[in-house]
């Protein structure tokens, strides 16, 4: 069921009964919000989403039978148009990225103010996105650190594997066999490595590998 002029229909998914009771009381104190049911684990949540077709699923990250974040696609598949808002104590950037990547439309911390939670529910239910301001700041900081690390080391993990083997003196054919890739792919990785690092000779490549700790110095 989509969002209409009637109350927004919400399914609560949290493994703590006391938390669910508090959330139900808080949400149903709003004239436009209705809690249609509760679930304490993913399996029960899937069943109740299928049964009620809620407008919004208010979902915790840590549940007894798995990660709520990982379960987002399964839950959304049971109710076309249903939105997912994460409500959790988990506040690291990895959980936030994964939640949005799996289809969530919002992420709020459990210590959020009551009016913030209601506002987030409404924003997500009508098709918007919501991110707790503090989480947004942390996500920006994490992205900046990731960019700095990428600038410091432009190679991918696979390219570093190829670099190490090249520096050890292996041929493209030997690298292909060791990494279970084609010779052409090994040659392509080698070309990319030399281009990214602006290297011209094997001696320069070996020197870089030593500096990066990819080879012993003996």
Looking at the predicted structure, is the pLDDT value of residue 153 above 70?
no
CA torsion sign, 175 to 176 to 181 to 185? Answer: positive
Identify which of 65, 42, 66 has the alpha carbon closest to the alpha carbon of residue 57: 42
Q: Residue 105 has what pLDDT? A: 94
Q: What is the pLDDT of residues 23-81, one digit of tens each?
A: 999 999 999 999 999 999 999 999 999 999 999 999 999 999 999 999 999 999 999 99
* Domains of the chain (ranges, CATH numbers): 8-144 (3.40.50.2300), 157-211 (1.10.10.10)
Q: What is the pLDDT of residues 124-146, one digit of tens each?
A: 998 999 987 777 656 666 566 55
φ, ψ dihedrals at 68, nearest 5°: -60, -35
pLDDT class of 152 with cuts at 50, 70, 90: low
Q: Residue 4 has what pLDDT? A: 45
Looking at the predicted structure, is the pLDDT value of residue 102 above 60?
yes
Q: Over the range 162-197, which residues count as b (16 or more CB within 10 Å of their CB) and which as e?
A: bbebbbeebebeebbeeeebeeebbeebbebbbeeb
The residue ranking higher by pLDDT, 213 or 102, is 102
pLDDT class of 210 with cuts at 50, 70, 90: confident
C-alpha 166 chain-centroid distance: 34
Looking at the predicted structure, is the pLDDT value of residue 19 above 80?
yes
> How far, in Å, CA of 89 to CA of 112, rounded?
10
């Amino acid at each position: 069921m989509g969002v209409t002029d009637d109350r927004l229909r919400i399914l609560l998914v949290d493994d703590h009964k006391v938390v669910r009771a508090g959330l139900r009381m808080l949400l149903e104190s709003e004239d436009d919000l209705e809690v249609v049911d509760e679930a304490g684990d993913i399996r029960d949540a899937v069943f109740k989403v299928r049964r009620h077709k809620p407008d919004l699923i208010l979902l915790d990250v840590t549940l007894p039978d798995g990660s709520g974040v990982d379960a987002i696609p399964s839950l959304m598949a049971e109710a076309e148009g249903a939105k997912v808002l994460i409500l959790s104590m988990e506040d690291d950037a990895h959980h936030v990225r994964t939640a949005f990547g799996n289809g969530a439309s919002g992420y709020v911390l459990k210590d959020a103010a009551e009016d913030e939670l209601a506002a987030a529910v409404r924003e997500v239910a009508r098709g918007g996105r919501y991110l707790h301001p503090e989480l947004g700041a942390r996500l920006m900081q994490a992205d900046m650190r990731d960019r700095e690390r990428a600038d410091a080391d432009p190679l991918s993990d696979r390219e570093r594997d190829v670099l190490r083997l090249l520096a050890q003196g292996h041929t493209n054919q030997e690298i292909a066999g060791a990494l279970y890739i084609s010779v052409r792919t090994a040659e392509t990785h080698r070309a990319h490595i030399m281009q990214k690092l602006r290297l011209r000779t094997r001696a320069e490549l070996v020197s870089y590998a030593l500096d990066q700790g990819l080879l012993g110095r003996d």
